[in-house]
Amino acid sequence: MTQFKIVFFLIFPFLLFSQNEKIPAEQLKQDLTIFRQIREKANSGVYKYRTKKQIDSIYNWAFSQLKNPREVMDFYKIILKITDFEGSVHNTTTLPDAYKNRYASEKVFFPLPVKLIENKMIVNFKNDEIPLGSQIFSINGTTINKIVRSFYKYYTTDGYNTSGKVIGINAVFARYYEMEYGPKEKFLVEYSLPNQTEKLSKSINSIANDERKERFKNRHSFPSDSLFYSKIKEKYSFKIFSKNTALLTVHTFAIGDNAEDKEHIAYRKYLDSCFQMLSVHPEIKNLIVDVRNNGGGSDPNDLVTFSYLTQKTYRENKSAYINFQKIPFLPYFVYEETETEKKLEEKNDFEAELKEEYPILKGKIHSQDPKFNRVLQPDKNTFKGQVYLLISPRVASAGSLFASLVAGKTNAIVIGEETMGGYYGHNGHTPIEYELPNTKIKTQFSIVNLEQDVPKKSNQIFGRGVIPDYKISQTFDDFMQNRDAQMEYTLKLIEKK
């Protein structure tokens, strides 16, 4: 299972067409036709959350937008809407490499880091223009609600989930604004001061991209959300919180690529030592498992971790299937290798692996070999006390699979906010990428349609992430104080029990 990564869409020109050049409508229609053909042939998740009628409808809309020549950026936004509509956190559609230096030094970006708190857009940077904690109502006459909705297509999530989109919006609000509304020299902002209702207006100047990045690094909320966006150095930890409570934190499952990897073996030994200790200290009746920063990683890190939290046998998935054994649309396939001979070798190796794991064709190509989805046993040192699972919108891919197993197959109490990764399943494991011939837009998706081995639950809606038993979100006061509301709530809940 590939690790979910935050994708900051970098846009920027050079060779085939100038920045503002319009592409003939027929070329755009050709790219859109190829885009659809590729996805319907190769992407097993196209109809996971959408009916044929719904997919037909959005493509009819897309083609209706291509009656005249359009710039690549306009076409890109159309493609993004389709990509997002499918509903997979592993869908990524990016602009051509030729765009990589656009606005490298020009001052065109919104100058203030912001954060969505309780569905309000809050200034997330100490500055002399619009104070930290102020609420923004509109920018250049467009309401903040409309702006936020227009950004949804830039950041994909599983199914119908929208909570996870906040992760991208908070990180690159200024980048998304430039992409959606164009470069600006000034911004007219309607806002109110912290804890006040009177609306004020101020015109503020744009900033360059380097300063945008620097301001985000120095955002007010850094102490409480740094691991959402930074490279994770300490991937996991364990500590005793009190005489009856322990805390296991797993920030990522990118802990080695497979069961033979040295990093995975070290992690497994670490887990075993922690749970051996818990098994000889029965007075520790509560275990908090914090995966709020966990955007994914590789098997079997997620499954091994779960083995210490369950008393029953389990599997990763109920079913897994793909749409092809031979790579379709090879002229548009993006290889990792560059030499012709190595490309052929890459293709043959990839297809051989697919045929080994997915040999059974029944309309779709299923994996039924037990060695790829075997029944797993709980560890002998499995924890038998009360588990409290902390989740957030950042949780996806292998992180959300783990959270789904814990929420669905144990008595854990789940606290926090809905994950962006699906509860019942997702598309994952094997990413592939294609490039459209005329616009050079690239599109990547994972080809394995996975139904996770979790039970139906009344609070779990198809197409949504893991829903917490106790929804605890950061309040405005929590934000201003950089307080960990979810951890505080969990400790109080344990104290009451």
**Per residue in 156-171, is it b (16+ CB within 10 Å) or e — as a string?**
bbbbebbbbbbbbbbb
Q: Point out the residues of the chain with pLDDT beneath 70.
A: 1-19, 100, 362-363, 368-372
**Domain presence at residue 230:** no
User: What is the identity of the amino acid at 340?
Assistant: T
What is the C-alpha separation between 242 and 290, in angstroms, rounded? 16
CATH number of the structural domain spanning residue 174: 2.30.42.10
- Domain's final residue, options 193, 219, 245: 219
Same domain, 275 and 320: yes
Among 136, 116, 145, 105, residue whose Cα is nearest residue 204 = 136
CA distances from 276 to 81, 121, 304, 384, 409 (A): 49, 46, 15, 12, 22
- Domain's final residue, options 99, 130, 145: 99
**Per residue in 270-298, is it b (16+ CB within 10 Å) or e — as a string?**
ebeebbeebbeeeebbbbbbbbbbbbbbb
**Domain presence at residue 183:** yes
What are the two backbone dihedrals, phi and then psi, of residue 162, each rounded to the nearest 5 degrees? -120, -15
User: What is the identity of the amino acid at 439?
Assistant: T
Same domain, 373 and 487: yes
**Domain presence at residue 489:** yes
Same domain, 176 and 247: no
Same domain, 313 and 352: yes
**Domain presence at residue 262:** yes
**Domain presence at residue 367:** yes
Residue 369: predicted pLDDT: 62
CA distances from 474 to 116, 199, 215 (A): 10, 24, 22
Same domain, 63 and 194: no
Same domain, 310 and 433: yes
**Domain presence at residue 5:** no
Same domain, 246 and 328: yes
Same domain, 93 and 155: no
Domains in the chain, number: 3
Same domain, 316 and 461: yes
Residue 195: predicted pLDDT: 94
**Domain presence at residue 284:** yes
Q: What is the DSSP letter of 134?
A: P
Domain interval for residue 371 = 236-496
pTM as predicted: 0.93
Residue 4: predicted pLDDT: 39
Contacts of 302 (CB under 8 A, 6+ apart): 1, 253, 398, 399, 401, 402, 405
Please calculate the CA angle 268-269-274 and round it to the nearest 5 degrees: 100
The helix (run of H) or strand (run of E) holding residue 187 is: strand 186-192
Same domain, 244 and 314: yes
**Domain presence at residue 4:** no
Terminal C-alpha separation, the chain:
37
Residue 11: predicted pLDDT: 34
What is the C-alpha separation between 243 and 161, in angstroms, rounded? 38
Residue 365: predicted pLDDT: 82
CATH number of the structural domain spanning residue 287: 3.90.226.10
Same domain, 316 and 398: yes
Digit-coded pLDDT (tens) for 80-95: 999 999 999 999 999 9
Residue 371: predicted pLDDT: 67
Same domain, 87 and 188: no
- Domain's final residue, options 70, 99, 128: 99
